[in-house]
Structure formats: C-alpha cells, structure tokens
C-alpha cells in the first residue's frame, strides 16, 4: 500500500507564519490558511456544471497535467471532491478563487481562462515533491488571484532555424502550466519564410530554404522548412483551448531577404534577386513602400489573419537600414510626393498604412520599438527591445507597450559562463537576473502606466538550432518570467522562488523538457594562478552555485554523494586530483548533475575556448558552433567577430616547453550593415594570413607565427605546434589571426602546453 503524503502548505492560522509557502510558480497574490485537510489521489472525482464547455476543458487539462506530473489518475463525474464552478462576481477573465477545505477543492472563476489557471494551480499543489504516484493531502487554504499584467509572453524564433510544428506543442503546455498567455511566433526573416501563403507559393518554395554558410569548402545542401496553414490553425486552436493566444510576426520593412528572394519584382526595391539569407544580423534588403509591394503585403496579411485570430498582429519594424530606399529614385519620388523628408518617416508612413489596414479588419498592429522613429499613430503598440527607453517614450506618448528588453529578457543569452553551455550570446543572463527584472520601468508618467500591457521573453534562434537547445535556453528561466509577469511585486522573493522551483524542475523532467541546471550546478574557481598551483603542487579551489540551493558536497578522486564531504570554505587539493561536486537537497537528491574539476598538471596546462578572454579594446560577444545549425552543443567557440584575437590571461609559461594550438575556421556569416566599419583587419604577410602567438599580451614578443592554409582546400579544424624557449615568468598569451576579412574567420579551440617536467 502506498504511503499517504501530507503536504504542509499552510496549517492553522495560529502557526501560519511558520508554514512554508505553497510550491507554486507563479506565487499567488493572496493565500489564506484554513483548518482541516483533504486527500486527493487516484480515483478522485472532478465535477463541472452541466453544459459548461469551458469548465470541462479546464477539468480535462487538470486530469492530463496531474497524470503527467504526479502519476495520479483523476476522473470526471458528479459529486466530485474537486469542483469547478462559475462565479460572475469574480472580476476579470483571468482571475479565480481556489478553496481547499475538508469537503474538497472548489475552483471558481467568471472566465474560461480563470478556470484554467485555477486548474493549473491545483495541478502544482498535487505535484509538490519527488513522490511520483503517491496521493497528496492538501491543507486547507483559500487562494485568490489575478495577473499583474495582461501580456505574459514568450517569443519563439522559428525563422532563423526552423523547428517542426510538433516541437511547439510542449512549449504551449509548459506555458499554460505557469499561466503565461501569449506565444509570439517570429515567422519571417532574411533566413526563412515559414508560413504558407497560398497566393504567393514561392515565399515558401524559395524563401523557406537557404544554402548554409561555408567555412571554406563547398556549402552543404539547402536547409529550411515551413508550416502549412492547416498546421498553424491546429496549433492556434490547441493553444486557444489552453488560454494562450498566438501572435504572428511578419517582419517588415527590414529582414525581408527571404521575401525578396522569392518575389523580387513584387516587393523588392532595386530589382535584384538575392538568395535566401544565411547571414545573421542586419542585411540590406527591404520591402518596397510602393503600391505594388503594399498590395502584396496586404494580400499576405489577409491570409495571416485567416490563420491567426489574435487581436494583435506583429509587423516587426526593427533593424531596417534604409540604404536601399536612399538609393532608389522611385522611393525618393514617393517620399517627395508624400511630403516626407526622411526614410524613417517613410517607414512610419508604411507602418501607419498597415495599422489602418489591420484596424479595418478589427485587429491591432504591434511592432518593435524602431517604429517610434517614424511618428506612427498611438493606435500602434510597441514592443520595446532596445532596453526600456522605447517603452518609456511610447507609453508617455499614449502607445500600449510590452517590455521585452535586451539583455534582460533575451533567452538566447547564456545562463552561465560555464564551458558546458551550448552556443548563444555571451551577455550572460542568469536565472536570478531574469527573476529580478521588473516590467514597470521608471520614467513612465503614473497616469500612463496603464499602457504597460506586460512583458515577454525572446528566444532568438541564430544559435538555438534544435528543440533541445531551445529548451535549455528557455527553461527554467520561463518560470522566472511567469512569476515576474503574474505575481504582485511585493510577493516576489528570490530565495522563496528557488525553493519553489525544485518541484517545478521535477515537473519539467517528467514532461520531457531538458531544462538547464546551470543555476544549480557547482562552479569551480582556482584562487591564485595556475602557474602557482603547478609550482607548489597545490590548488586552492572555490566552489559555489548561482542559486545557492542545497549543500555542496564533494569527493576527491571519487563520486559526489549526499554523504560526501561538505564544502564550507575554499579547499586545498594536491595536483593530480579529480574533484566531483554537486549541491544536494534536504531529501538527498542532487540539485544538478555533478560537475568535475580536473587538477592534474595536464589539465592546468590546457585552456579551452571558455578560458580565453578578449584582447584589449575588444569583447567576446558570441559563443558560436563550428557549423551553423549543428545539432550538438559542442564544439563551441567564444568569439569577437570584429577582431579575431583572444588571449590566455596568466598562462603558466614557466612550466611549458612547447605549445599546441587547436584552431577552427568558422563561417563569416554576419550581416553587420553600418557596423562593418568596426571590423579590425590585421596585416597579413602570407597568402592567407597567419596565426601569430605572443607572450606578454597582444603587443608582446612573438613566440611563433604559423601561415594559415588555403580555406578552400584545407580542413576546418587544424593544429599548430611550436617549441617554447624557457620563460622566466608566466604571461598573457595572445593568439591573433591575420586572415582576410573576406574569408572565413578563425578561433582558438584549445591551447595545450607541454609540461617542462
């Protein structure tokens, strides 16, 4: 017989101050303890009012979620222990009340979404720990809540790297479980057009596929894909039944290369026909503002509107460099006829025209904050991504706004600087940093704060090529997003959130979601230099985790376990030791997979790409894969695409008799637009440039110089070895490539120093 578990959520009022918070994400606005308790287990009955389809849907979602997250089979019937009911007195379509007492559980709401959110709260209460399959006894309580913000969103970029439609359904399920309600699909960009438009089939036949970039040899076969209208309609219906609105984005006037590749005469500016793009960043192709192009766009929007019934339609508006418009006599003549003096005003006119068209169809336009540069009407809503200034300016002008600032809510930013992170942007945004963000920026007039609709995180996919990589980037930061958009600000508490995240991580695991454990993994840092450690034969090691959950325990040359040595302060270990460590929770489970630190001489004499830093006046901005779209997380390289120069700070050169530099040649596929002037070219003295290795920094003495091979014929990974004369001191070791800016670029994969002993 299975053991009956009691969930000590909130006991009687007299001891409520000592009771733990309920294991809920997001945290409710109000939780009032009661007296008594009720048992819920397999066979418990759920009742709904006769003929109430919305309540029936909420009940079915509860059944499915509890089976997945707890392994308990609930059933529908009359006289149930769990009851759904309508209450018109509960204001707001997303608000609900949940009452637990000795008679059972009652979920009340006036709207369908409220019933769903109440069901999801109960599902979390019924999956509070690791005891899968066991019944739960709930302490009596009353939960009353409504969301802080109306827009609680996640953007999935399916344009840069196409993802099969079936990979989006788990995203919807994870969103509804934590009361997020907007899924924004970035459907078009330079690198792909992902939505079927029946009137213009070449948009997907040509624009849906691209030739991948090359690092020197012949490019591979085309990659891409698109969604049929039937597939998207099915996804929209699935999401809508779960309280989630899908907002489509058709990016314009910039990020238009895929469309121009398919229909250059209809929408292009200068008449040329590029291929579908493979360069990340900002590219020059724009939609023309001519009537032929505007008619094309309106026809596209008509089919988009038939797929997506959402109130808002996103039209992009970002990163549209205006060089093509500046060089087009036709566009300049159109501007003169309209009385417009700048190309930004031309974009504003274009966005306003589309806004009027969408209004005539009963919809609303939303775009990235660049649309403000064109004096668009206040009927246009603004999604602020370039920090918060766009939101502040827009709200004060009377626009509705959604906060989506970089880097705070950009989920393609790495979650740590660990070497086992997959590719992404190197502006690290930890779980705590995301949780700490508040989408009510200072500077908005108090009377205008009503224009803040909410917040949204963005999962741009230049470096998120697979569903697994996207899951790693999104989860568990999605949980932080859920709480910062739903819960009252005064209910947010980082330590409490970390404690409540533990059962949520278990739910992710049961749902097959590969959530990142970066916040809970043990980090290792060496106090002092590697050279000192090698010379003394001792390593001073610091261990910590981002979240601080659990107690760190470690083993030297063994397996970390809940009974291993407890870490309390920096430890000194002899060289040659392998340390394994993990943070263990109160029930003995590790909060993350154990991590290892190798203190052998060979490891201390080796640096990987993650150990290297930028050269002076530079910055490492990206962690990139060897091949665009590779399915594996490794190899990955921390790079500065503007200056291919990195250094190993404090390299232990006194202990080295030689060095082997492992090098990779990477595709130079970046649309830099007007930032191209920031590229730094180093003078080459051989046909294809050199790798120059220096000691003492990037102006130091040359240790070695290696001619680089012909990129069109040589493999993309190579090694260079040199002997080293005995060095009197450790020093920064600089690796500088002098290859042409028109060729692929190079990065150091690893540096191995040969032991002088």
Which pLDDT score, from 0 to 100, does residue 19 have?
58
* DSSP character at residue 340: -
Q: Partners of 565 in the beta sheet?
A: 554
Give mean pLDDT, residues 235-241. 98
Q: Which residue, among 495, 464, 497, has the nearest Cα to 481 in the 3D structure?
A: 497
Which pLDDT score, from 0 to 100, does residue 617 have?
86
- 286-331: pLDDT as tens digits: 999 999 999 999 999 999 999 999 999 999 999 999 999 999 999 9
Cα distance between residue 594 and residue 587, in whole Å: 16
Q: Which spans in 564-700 are helix H?
A: 601-604
Distance (Å) of CA 333 to CA 70, 321, 340, 374, 375? 66, 19, 10, 18, 20
Which pLDDT score, from 0 to 100, does residue 634 have?
95
Question: At which of 563, 581, 599 does a domain end?
Answer: 599
5 confidence band (pLDDT: 50, 70, 90)? very low
- 644-676: pLDDT as tens digits: 999 999 999 999 999 999 999 999 999 999 999
Element (DSSP H or E) covering residue 701: strand 701-707
Residues 79 and 170 in one domain: no
Distance (Å) of CA 423 to CA 103, 671, 737? 52, 18, 22
Task: Strand 745-755: give its sheet, edge to edge.
Answer: 606-608, 745-755, 656-666, 717-723
Give mean pLDDT, residues 204-232. 97
Looking at the predicted structure, is the pLDDT value of residue 14 above 80? Answer: no
Q: Is 133 helix (H, G, I), strand (E, B) or coil?
A: coil
* DSSP character at residue 227: B
Element (DSSP H or E) covering residue 123: helix 112-125
Task: Strand 731-737: give its sheet, edge to edge.
Answer: 613-614, 645-651, 731-737, 690-695, 701-707
Which pLDDT score, from 0 to 100, does residue 512 have?
96
Question: Into how many domains does the chain fold?
Answer: 5
* In-domain check, residue 369: no
- 564-588: pLDDT as tens digits: 999 999 999 999 999 999 999 999 9
Looking at the predicted structure, is the pLDDT value of residue 21 above 90? Answer: no
Residue span of the structural domain in which 289 resides:
187-363
Residues 199 and 347 in one domain: yes
Looking at the predicted structure, is the pLDDT value of residue 684 above 50? Answer: yes
* Better pLDDT: 1 or 732: 732
Question: At which of 115, 145, 175 does a domain end?
Answer: 145
Cα distance between residue 690 and residue 681, in whole Å: 12
Residues 595 and 657 in one domain: no
Q: Among residues of the chain, what percentage have pLDDT more than 70?
A: 97
* In-domain check, residue 169: yes
pTM above 0.85, yes or no: yes
Q: Catalytic residue positions?
A: 319
- Angle among Cα 720, 721, 725 to the nearest 5 degrees reads 140
Looking at the predicted structure, is the pLDDT value of residue 215 above 80? Answer: yes
Give yes or no for a contact between 63 and 46, defined as CB atoms under 8 angstroms apart: yes
Q: Is 675 helix (H, G, I), strand (E, B) or coil?
A: helix
Q: Is 317 helix (H, G, I), strand (E, B) or coil?
A: coil
Looking at the predicted structure, is the pLDDT value of residue 15 above 80? Answer: no
4 confidence band (pLDDT: 50, 70, 90)? very low
Residue 211 tokens, joined: 């030739």
HSE toward the beta carbon, residue 722, CA cutoff 13 A: 18
Q: Which residue, among 751, 697, 749, 689, has the nearest Cα to 721 in the 3D structure?
A: 751
Residues 117 and 219 in one domain: no
Cα distance between residue 457 and residue 208, in whole Å: 25
Looking at the predicted structure, is the pLDDT value of residue 158 above 50? Answer: yes
* In-domain check, residue 84: yes
What's the CATH number where 512 sits?
3.20.20.80
Q: Which residue, among 71, 61, 484, has the nearest Cα to 243 in the 3D structure?
A: 61
How many helices and strands, by DSSP H and E, does the chain display?
18, 41
Q: What are φ and ψ of residue 520, in 5° steps?
A: -110, -10
Residues 664 and 734 in one domain: yes
Give yes or no for a contact between 26 and 435, defined as CB atoms under 8 angstroms apart: no
Distance (Å) of CA 364 to CA 143, 251, 382, 397, 585? 34, 15, 11, 17, 48
Cα distance between residue 212 and residue 218, in whole Å: 10
Distance (Å) of CA 5 to CA 2, 82, 663? 9, 18, 56
Q: Which residue, among 585, 756, 732, 727, has the nearest Cα to 130 in the 3D structure?
A: 585
Looking at the predicted structure, is the pLDDT value of residue 266 above 90? Answer: yes
Give yes or no for a contact between 223 and 629, defined as CB atoms under 8 angstroms apart: yes
Which residues, at least 6 apart from 239, have a Cβ–Cβ distance to it below 8 Å?
Answer: 172, 183, 245, 246
Q: Partners of 659 in the beta sheet?
A: 722, 753
Question: At which of 576, 599, 622 does a domain end?
Answer: 599
Q: Which residue, among 633, 275, 340, has the nearest Cα to 464 in the 3D structure?
A: 633
Cα distance between residue 334 and residue 476, in whole Å: 49
Residues 387 and 312 in one domain: no
Distance (Å) of CA 700 to CA 181, 690, 693, 729? 56, 16, 9, 13
Element (DSSP H or E) covering residue 241: helix 229-241
Concatenate the DSSP letters of all residues of 620-635 into one string: --EEEESSTT-SSS-S
Q: Among residues of the chain, what percentage have pLDDT more than 90?
A: 97
Q: Is 447 helix (H, G, I), strand (E, B) or coil?
A: helix
Q: Is 306 helix (H, G, I), strand (E, B) or coil?
A: helix
Q: Which spans in 71-111 are helix H?
A: none
Q: What are φ and ψ of residue 170, in 5° steps?
A: -60, -30
Residues 270 and 126 in one domain: no
Largest CA distance in the chain: 87
8 confidence band (pLDDT: 50, 70, 90)? very low
* In-domain check, residue 100: yes
* In-domain check, residue 49: yes
18 confidence band (pLDDT: 50, 70, 90)? very low
Give mean pLDDT, residues 238-265. 98
Q: Which spans in 250-326 are helix H?
A: 257-262, 264-267, 291-307, 323-326
Looking at the predicted structure, is the pLDDT value of residue 219 above 50? Answer: yes
Residues 540 and 511 in one domain: no
What's the CATH number where 679 sits?
2.60.120.260
* In-domain check, residue 428: yes
* In-domain check, residue 368: no
Q: Is 151 helix (H, G, I), strand (E, B) or coil?
A: strand
Residues 100 and 115 in one domain: yes
For tokens 């000192």, what's the residue? Answer: 532
Residue 522 tokens, joined: 């043990």
Residues 388 and 511 in one domain: yes
As a 3-state breakdown, the chain gives helix, strand, coil percent values, each rounded to 5, of 30, 30, 45
Which pLDDT score, from 0 to 100, does residue 84 have?
98
* In-domain check, residue 61: yes
Residues 556 and 476 in one domain: no
Residues 342 and 195 in one domain: yes
What's the CATH number where 119 sits?
3.30.379.10
Residue-averaged pLDDT of the chain: 96
**Omega prior to 253 cis, within 30 of 0:** yes
């Amino acid at each position: 017989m299975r053991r009956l578990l009691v969930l000590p959520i909130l006991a009687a009022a007299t001891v409520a101050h000592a009771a733990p918070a309920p294991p809920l994400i997001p945290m409710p606005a109000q939780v009032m303890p009661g007296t008594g308790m009720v048992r819920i287990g397999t066979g418990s009955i759920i009742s709904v009012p006769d003929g109430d389809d919305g309540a029936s849907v909420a009940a079915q979602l509860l059944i499915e979620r509890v089976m997945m997250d707890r392994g308990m089979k609930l059933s529908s019937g009359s006289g149930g222990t769990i009851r759904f009911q309508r209450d018109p007195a509960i204001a707001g379509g997303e608000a609900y009340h949940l009452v637990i007492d000795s008679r059972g559980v009652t979920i009340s709401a006036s709207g369908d979404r409220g019933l769903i959110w109440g069901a999801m709260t109960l599902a979390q209460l019924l999956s509070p720990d690791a005891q899968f399959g066991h019944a739960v006894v709930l302490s009596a309580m009353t939960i009353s809540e409504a969301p802080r913000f109306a827009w609680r969103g996640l953007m999935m970029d399916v344009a840069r790297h196409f993802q099969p439609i079936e990979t989006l359904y788990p995203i919807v399920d994870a969103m509804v479980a934590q009361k997020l309600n907007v899924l924004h699909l970035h459907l078009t960009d330079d690198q792909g057009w992902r939505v079927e438009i029946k009137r213009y089939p070449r948009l997907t036949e040509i624009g849906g596929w691209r030739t991948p970039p090359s690092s020197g040899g012949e490019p591979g076969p085309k990659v891409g894909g698109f969604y049929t209208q039937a597939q998207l309609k099915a996804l929209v219906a699935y999401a809508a039944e779960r309280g989630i609105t899908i907002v489509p984005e058709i990016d314009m006037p910039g990020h238009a290369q895929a469309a121009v590749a398919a229909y250059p005469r209809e929408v292009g500016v200068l008449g040329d026909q590029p291929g579908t793009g493979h360069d990340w960043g900002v590219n020059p192709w724009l939609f023309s503002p001519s009537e032929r192009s505007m008619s094309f766009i309106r026809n596209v929007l008509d089919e988009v509107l038939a797929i997506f019934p959402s109130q808002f339609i996103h039209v992009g508006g970002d990163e549209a460099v205006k060089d093509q418009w500046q060089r087009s006599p036709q566009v300049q003549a159109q501007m003169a006829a309209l009385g417009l003096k700048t190309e930004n005003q031309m974009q504003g006119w274009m966005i306003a025209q589309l806004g009027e068209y969408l209004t005539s169809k009963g919809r609303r336009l939303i775009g990235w904050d660049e649309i403000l540069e064109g004096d668009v009407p206040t009927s246009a809503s603004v999604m602020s991504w370039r920090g918060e200034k766009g939101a502040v300016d827009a709200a004060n002008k009377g626009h509705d706004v959604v906060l989506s600032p970089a880097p705070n809510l950009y989920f393609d930013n790495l979650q740590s600087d660990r070497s086992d992170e997959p590719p992404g942007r190197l502006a690290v945004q930890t779980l705590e940093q995301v949780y700490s963000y508040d989408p009510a920026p200072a500077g908005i007039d108090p009377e205008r704060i009503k224009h803040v609709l909410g917040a949204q995180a963005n999962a741009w996919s230049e470096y998120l090529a697979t569903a697994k990589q996207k899951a790693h980037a999104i989860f568990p930061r999605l949980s932080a997003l859920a709480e910062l958009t739903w819960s009252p600000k005064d209910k947010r508490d980082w330590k409490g959130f970390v404690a409540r995240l533990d059962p949520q991580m278990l739910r992710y695991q049961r749902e097959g979601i590969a959530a990142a454990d970066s916040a809970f993994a043990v980090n290792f840092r060496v106090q002092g230099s590697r050279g000192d450690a090698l010379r003394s034969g001792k390593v001073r090691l610091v261990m910590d985790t981002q979240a601080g959950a659990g107690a760190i325990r470690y083993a030297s040359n063994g397996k970390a376990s809940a009974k291993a040595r407890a870490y309390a302060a920096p430890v000194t270990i002899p060289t040659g030791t392998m340390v394994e460590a993990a943070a263990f929770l109160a029930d003995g489970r590790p909060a993350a997979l154990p991590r290892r630190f190798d203190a052998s001489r060979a490891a201390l004499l080796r640096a990987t790409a993650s150990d290297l830093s930028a050269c002076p006046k530079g910055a490492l901005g990206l962690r990139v894969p060897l091949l665009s779209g590779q399915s594996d997380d490794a190899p990955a390289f921390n790079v500065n695409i503007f200056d291919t120069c990195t250094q190993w700070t404090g390299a232990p050169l006194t202990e080295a008799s030689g060095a082997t530099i492992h090098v990779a040649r990477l595709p130079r596929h970046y649309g830099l637009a007007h930032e191209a002037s920031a590229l730094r070219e180093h003078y080459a003295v051989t046909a294809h440039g050199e790798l120059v290795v220096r000691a003492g920094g990037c102006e130091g003495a040359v240790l070695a110089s290696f001619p680089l091979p012909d990129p069109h014929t040589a493999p993309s990974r190579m090694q260079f070895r040199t002997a080293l004369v005995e060095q009197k001191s450790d020093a920064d070791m600089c690796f500088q490539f002098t290859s042409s800016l028109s060729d692929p670029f190079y990065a150091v994969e690893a540096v191995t120093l040969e032991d002088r002993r």
